[in-house]
């Protein structure tokens, strides 16, 4: 055996408790989001483009080029590209949809720590068309049931009555059990000739972020910029923008607190006002919100220039139900006037705290700027450092059915040394805390301000993130019929959950950290088993598992294993494709933590008739076997 190579697997298994399936995170998941794929029309009388890559279209939805006679007003866009989506000839329906698969992020989604962001450049076609352009995200479970819907609306005629494309965006949190999202672009209008309602540079992305703890405001400090005039994250009329701190004449606080940019409104020769807003969906926390348990903290810097006595700024947070209806409570931080900042060119801090009203599903945060007199040097009222965060008032609780096997993700009895994941509310970290060794060289029982107890024994912890604690069942549960499990976070303990104890509870790890699919199995040359790299019949393969129960010599909580390697006391056997696989070794992973196990077996003959095939693997330890849901290995003829 190559023990050094075996130890590398510890890193792979530990990654299962950290953000996985990185292929979907922090990038635009829309196919042909910028309308650049496909041949766009160049005249208003051209036939509708029916085949637009990535999209299923209906009605007169079409693809257009930015050319003379078709050009939309793109002066606010940094990179409009060559083409855009439009409503097409005449009025009526003009829609396009596409489905995005989110199933590879199921573990993180079901843990309640995935945030979505939806945005695009949208145009209403001008005052003569006034289309209600809209991009909608419908979040579905595996059966196609809609769990949540969120929409970003295009600019109103009041916000722009020209053919200008304006940035529109929004965000929220994905509900557990979501497996896909259907995006729908609606450019329907009542146009009688060409429908100029338009969309371009659409974006749908997902990131790992807890709903409780961090600032929920996107670009609250105005420092995110794509080089265009609009501060990303905010929706406003075409006179909302950012100004450099160095050009604002603001002296307090210091520039290193304010950063490079401030939020502002463009000046003009008449009294002016402008708003900018963003809406955040917080449905994910509905149970706790409706129990009156979720508190908010809201703050911002507001103020202005000493020679602009009639210019004011304000920020407010409105709490809305699922239909967008205000629930009556508003947290308002301004307006801030020259008198408020003592006649100085300064920004002052304003804040508000409270609890979200029962029924809150959306939070809309709005910045307002007002110049009562005709501005001479532009509107000199500013906003910066907008922060909105939620907390659960210190409540920590283990979710119902929230104690699962780390490999199978199934509920059931726990066994000594088994790796488990506990889903809990009230554990709020902005980033994942990973396994550490204590001063004795053992896996620490305290990371990320969290502890996990089985009766009175602290469990070694593999990772802690928002809503999830991964650890190892202490070996002293051996001989018990049940155990009380508690989570502690920042000194606050959950109520105990009673869990049965078994001698063994085996489960095989997969490559994706999911209950089924390609097993975390390595071929005889220690390359990862796959369809393109199957194992030969008669060759030795190595697979990884947990839940083998007490070991010989007895297991030590948190120990990093070295020779001689402990082996499960319970007899171990493995079947591949329904046939017994001769067992070469089953025991602890060298240089891994106690509780992580591997088994080396020989692949039985007569599984493949020629081409590589995938067959199930089942591991039995004592009287218990890994679940029937298939963990697969790819096999070929020698």
Residues 542-587: tens digit of each pLDDT: 999 999 999 999 999 999 999 899 999 999 999 999 999 999 999 9
Given pLDDT bands bounded at 50, 70 and 90, which one contains residue 607?
A: very high
CA separation for the pair 9, 21 (Å, rounded): 17
**286 shares a domain with 183:** no
pLDDT higher than threshold 80 for residue 22: no
**CB-based contact 485:474 (threshold 8 Å):** no
d(CA 279, CA 265): 20
pLDDT at position 3: 47
* Percent of the chain whose predicted confidence (pLDDT) is above 90: 61
Residue with tokens 């295009």: 154
Mean pLDDT for 213-239 is 82
Buried b (16+ CB within 10 A) or exposed e, 315-345: bbbbbbeeeeeebeeebebbbbbbebbeeeb
Residues 336 and 385 in one domain: yes
Closest to 174 (Cα-Cα) out of 214, 222, 218, 209:
209
Q: Pick 328 or 603 by higher pLDDT.
A: 603
Residue 365 CB burial class (10 angstroms; 0-12, 13-18, ≥19): buried
Same domain, 89 and 177: yes
Residue 283 confidence (pLDDT) above 80: yes
- The reported pLDDT for the residue numbered 376 is 58
Counting residues of the chain whose pLDDT is more than 70, the rounded percentage is 93
CATH number at residue 523: 2.60.40
Q: What mean pLDDT comes out for the span 103-114?
A: 81
State the pLDDT at residue 301.
Answer: 95
Does the pLDDT of residue 19 top 70, yes or no? no
Least confident residue range of 78-82, 87-91, 209-213, 444-448: 209-213
Mean pLDDT confidence for 150-179? 89
Question: What CATH number does the domain containing 463 carry?
Answer: 2.60.40.10
Residue 389 pLDDT exceeds 50 = yes
Rounded Cα gap, residues 501 and 233, in angstroms? 49
More confident residue, 292 or 320: 320
pLDDT band at 160; cut points 50, 70, 90: confident
pLDDT of residue 459: 97
Q: Does 93 reside within a domain?
A: yes
For residue 157, give the DSSP letter. Answer: T
Q: How confident is the model at residue 239 (pLDDT cuts 50, 70, 90)?
A: confident
Q: How confident is the model at residue 293 (pLDDT cuts 50, 70, 90)?
A: confident
Q: Where is the domain boundary, 478, 500, 522?
A: 500
Helix H or strand E segment including 485: strand 482-489
Q: Are residues 231 and 334 in the same domain?
A: yes
The CA distance from 104 to 111, in Å, is: 13
Cβ-based burial of 467 (10 A; exposed 0-12, middle 13-18, buried ≥19):
buried
Can the peptide bond before residue 40 be classed as cis, meaning omega within 30 degrees of 0? no
C-alpha torsion sign, points 188, 189, 191, 196: negative
Last residue of a domain, one of 202, 221, 244: 202
For residue 566, being part of any structural domain is answered with yes
Instruction: Name the DSSP class of 467.
Output: T
pLDDT of residue 72: 77
Mean pLDDT of 303-318: 84
CA–CA distance, 96 with 207 (Å, rounded to integer): 25
> What is the structure's pLDDT at 330?
93
Q: How confident is the model at residue 20 (pLDDT cuts 50, 70, 90)?
A: very low
User: Is residue 62 located within the same domain as residue 171?
Assistant: yes
Average pLDDT over residues 583-599: 95
Among 160-164, 440-444, 566-570, the range scoring the smallest mean pLDDT is 160-164
Which pairing describes strands 624-625 and 507-508: parallel, antiparallel, or unpaired? unpaired
Counting Cβ atoms within 10 Å, is residue 431 exposed (0-12), middle (13-18) or buried (19+)? Answer: middle
Q: Which residue in 422, 429, 420, 424 sits closest to 395, CA to CA?
A: 424
What's the domain count of the chain?
Answer: 4
The counts of H helices and E strands in the chain are 4, 44
Establish if 17 belongs to a structural domain. no
424 and 480 both lie in a single domain: yes
Which of 58-67, 484-493, 519-528 shows the lowest per-residue confidence on average (mean pLDDT)?
Answer: 484-493
d(CA 417, CA 477) in angstroms, rounded, equals 9
104 within some domain = yes
CATH number of the domain to which 124 belongs: 2.60.120.260
pTM of the model: 0.69
71 vs 207 pLDDT, higher one:
207
pLDDT band at 227 (very low <50, low <70, confident <90, very high): low
How far is Cα of residue 558 from the mean position of the Cα atoms in its chain? 31
Instruction: Please check whether residues 458 and 320 belong to one and the same domain.
Output: no
Q: Let me know whether 267 and 411 are in one domain.
A: no
Q: Which of 453, 468, 500 is the last residue of a domain?
A: 500
In a domain, 354, yes or no: yes
Residue 19 counted as domain residue: no
Mean pLDDT within 26-33: 96
User: In this structure, are 332 and 380 located in the same domain?
Assistant: yes
Whether 168 is in a domain gets the answer: yes
Q: Is 300 helix (H, G, I), strand (E, B) or coil?
A: strand
The reply to whether 630 falls in a domain is yes
Cβ contacts of residue 297 below 8 Å, gap of 6+?
351, 353, 387, 388, 389, 390, 391
Are 578 and 566 found together in one domain?
Answer: yes
Mean pLDDT of all residues in 265-278:
78
Q: Report the mean per-residue pLDDT for the chain.
A: 89
Would you state the pLDDT for residue 106?
83
Lowest mean pLDDT among 88-97, 378-387, 517-526: 378-387
Instruction: Decide if pLDDT at 101 tops 60.
Output: yes
**What residue numbers bound the domain in which 464 lies?**
397-500
Smallest CA-to-CA distance from 368 within 325, 318, 312 is with 312
> Is the domain of 165 the same as that of 266?
no
Quick one: 261 and 321 in the same domain?
A: yes
Contact 175/210 with Cβ under 8 angstroms?
Answer: no
Whether pLDDT at 370 is above 90? no
Confidence of residue 494 (pLDDT cuts 50, 70, 90): confident
């Amino acid at each position: 055996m190559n023990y050094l190579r075996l130890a590398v697997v510890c890193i792979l298994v530990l990654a299962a408790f950290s953000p996985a399936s990185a292929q979907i995170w922090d990038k635009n998941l829309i196919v042909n989001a910028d309308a650049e794929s496909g041949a766009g029309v160049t005249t208003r009388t051209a036939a509708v483009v029916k085949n637009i890559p990535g999209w299923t279209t209906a009605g007169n939805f079409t693809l257009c080029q930015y050319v003379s006679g078709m050009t939309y007003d793109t002066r606010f866009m940094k990179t409009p590209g060559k083409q855009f989506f439009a409503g097409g000839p005449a009025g009526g329906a003009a829609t396009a949809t596409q489905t995005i698969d989110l199933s590879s992020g199921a573990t993180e989604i079901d843990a309640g720590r995935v945030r979505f962001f939806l945005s695009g450049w949208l145009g209403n076609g001008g005052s003569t068309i006034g289309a209600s352009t809209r991009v909608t995200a419908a979040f579905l479970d595996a059966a196609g049931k809609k769990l949540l819907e969120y929409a970003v609306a295009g600019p109103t005629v009041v916000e722009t009555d020209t053919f200008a494309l304006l940035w529109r965006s929004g965000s929220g949190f994905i509900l557990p059990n979501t497996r896909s999202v259907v995006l729908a672009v609606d450019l329907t209008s009542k146009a009688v000739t060409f429908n100029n309602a338009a969309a371009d540079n659409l974006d749908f992305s997902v990131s790992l972020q807890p709903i409780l703890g961090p600032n929920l405001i996107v670009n609250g400090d105005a420092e995110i910029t794509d080089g265009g005039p609009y501060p990303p994250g905010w929706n406003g009329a075409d006179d909302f923008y950012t100004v450099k701190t160095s050009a604002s004449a603001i002296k307090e606080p210091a520039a290193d607190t304010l950063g490079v940019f401030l939020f502002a409104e463009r000046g003009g020769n008449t009294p002016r006002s402008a708003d900018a807003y963003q809406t955040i969906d917080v449905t994910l926390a509905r149970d706790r919100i409706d129990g009156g348990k979720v508190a908010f903290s809201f703050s911002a810097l507001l103020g202005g220039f000493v020679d602009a006595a009639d210019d004011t700024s304000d920020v407010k947070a409105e709490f809305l139900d699922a239909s967008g209806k205000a629930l009556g409570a508003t947290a308002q931080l301004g307006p801030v006037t020259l008198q408020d900042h003592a006649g100085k060119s300064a920004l002052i801090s304003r804040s508000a705290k409270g609890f979200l009203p029962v029924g809150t599903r959306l939070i809309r945060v709005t910045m307002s700027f007002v110049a009562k007199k005709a501005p001479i040097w532009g509107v000199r009222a500013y906003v910066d450092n907008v922060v909105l965060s939620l907390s659960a008032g210190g409540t920590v609780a283990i979710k119902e059915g929230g104690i699962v096997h780390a490999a199978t993700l199934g509920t059931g009895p726990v066994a000594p040394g088994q790796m488990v994941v506990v889903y809990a509310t009230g554990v709020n970290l902005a980033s994942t805390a990973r396994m550490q060794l204590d001063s004795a060289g053992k896996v620490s029982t305290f990371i990320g301000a969290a502890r996990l107890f089985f009766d009175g024994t602290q469990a070694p912890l593999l990772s802690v993130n928002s809503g999830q604690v991964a650890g190892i069942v202490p070996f002293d549960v051996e001989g018990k019929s049940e155990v009380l499990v508690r989570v502690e976070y920042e000194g606050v303990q959950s109520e105990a959950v009673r869990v049965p104890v078994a001698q063994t509870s085996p489960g095989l790890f997969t490559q994706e950290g999911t209950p089924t699919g390609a097993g975390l199995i390595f071929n005889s040359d220690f390359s990862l088993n796959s369809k393109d790299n199957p194992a030969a019949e008669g060759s030795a393969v190595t697979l990884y598992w947990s839940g083998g129960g007490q070991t010989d010599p007895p297991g030590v909580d948190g120990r990093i294993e070295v020779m001689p390697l402990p082996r499960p006391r319970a007899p171990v056997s493995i079947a591949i494709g329904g046939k017994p696989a001769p067992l070469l070794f089953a025991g602890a992973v060298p240089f891994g933590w106690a509780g992580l196990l591997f088994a080396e077996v020989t692949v039985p003959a007569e599984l493949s008739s020629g081409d590589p095939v995938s067959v199930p693997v089942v591991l039995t330890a004592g009287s218990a076997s890994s679940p029937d849901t298939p963990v697969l290995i790819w096999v070929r003829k020698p």
